[in-house]
Structure 1
Amino acid sequence: MRVDFYHLQASPVEMALPQLLARVLQAGHRAVVMAGSEDRVEALANHLWTYDPVTWLPHGTLKDGFAEDQPIWLTDRDENPNAARMLILTDGMTSSRLADFDRCLDVFDGNSLHATAAARERWSLAKAAGHELHYWQQTDAGWKEQGASG
């Protein structure tokens, strides 16, 4: 299992998430996005509808239903109802279902000392579990891989 840590510095998750999800869909994959609360899920879902008037990222939430038909499923639950192979964790979320996915992206706010410390702890736990790890840092030009383990 590969776990990629995405260290946000130049933009918040609301701005980075659409770019990451577009790449997931372009690669022909489905994704589950886990957020910290039901309100946060709805805020992210609303943002995905409005962030760019030209681009559309098909997605759904519990309120929308039809989880199995959604290429992108946003949730505050540890689940995989759309048979996704990609898990995106936001808001410091963790999952006990990593084995259900091929890859996990852990996206965290690098401008928060608390979020960064928590991400370091998740890195240590993932390393101890034997996962292949990659660390990406956001720059003004995009993402740059800064480290890997396993």
Structure 2
Amino acid sequence: MQVDFYHLTLAPLDRLLPVIADRVMTGGGRLLVVSSDADQRASLDRSLWMIPPDGFLPHAQAGEGDDPAQPILIAGEIRAANGARHVALADGQWRDEALDFDRVFHFFDGERIAEARAAWRSLADREGVERRYWKQNGQGRWEQAA
């Protein structure tokens, strides 16, 4: 399983998450987006309606529609009612339950960097876990740094 750590420095999450979600869907996958913050979940919901500009990414917030039918489900906890094998931890909080998925996208900003480092270290010796650390360069492009 793969865990991708995304250090948000230039681009905000509401710009990056739709790109990741689109790639997951293009590959035939489903995504669970997790945040304990209701305001953040509402903001991400709006972002997925507006980005990409020429369409929208089909999604819903957990409990507000037919959860099993949603390619992208936004929830307050890790429970993939949509059968997702990819999970995005949008609020910067690491959750070990994420390791039950095939791929984890762990987004964090400067306020959560200590927690992200602790999660990175805790996964170092876990069998079957491949870690990747992504950061933005001066042009705003994502580069794998570790």
Gaps of 5+ in 2: none
Give the conservation status (yes or no) of the 8 Å contact 2:14–2:43.
no
Let me know the Cα RMSD of the aligned residues.
1.7
1:2 aligns with 2:11: no
> Which portions of structure 1, spanning 4 or more consecutive aligned residues, are displaced by more than 4 angstroms?
none
Mapped partners of 1:43, 1:119: distance in 2: 22
Give the conservation status (yes or no) of the 8 Å contact 1:137–1:143.
yes
Mean Cα deviation higher: 45-54 or 82-91:
45-54
The one-letter code sitting in structure 2 at the alignment partner of 1:84 is: A
What residue number does 2:84 align with? Answer: 84
Gaps of 5+ in 1: none
The one-letter code sitting in structure 1 at the alignment partner of 2:144 is: E
What residue number does 2:114 align with? Answer: 117
What residue number does 1:108 align with? Answer: 108
1:19-63 C-alpha deviation (Å, 9 max, x unpaired): 111111111110001113222211210121124441211111125
The one-letter code sitting in structure 2 at the alignment partner of 1:133 is: R
Identity of aligned residues (%): 33
Give the conservation status (yes or no) of the 8 Å contact 1:4–1:104.
yes
Give the conservation status (yes or no) of the 8 Å contact 2:67–2:82.
yes
Mapped partners of 1:95, 1:23: distance in 2: 23
TM-score, L = length of structure 1? 0.87
What residue number does 1:33 align with? Answer: 33
What residue number does 1:11 align with? Answer: 11
Mapped partners of 1:29, 1:62: distance in 2: 18
TM-score, L = length of structure 2? 0.89
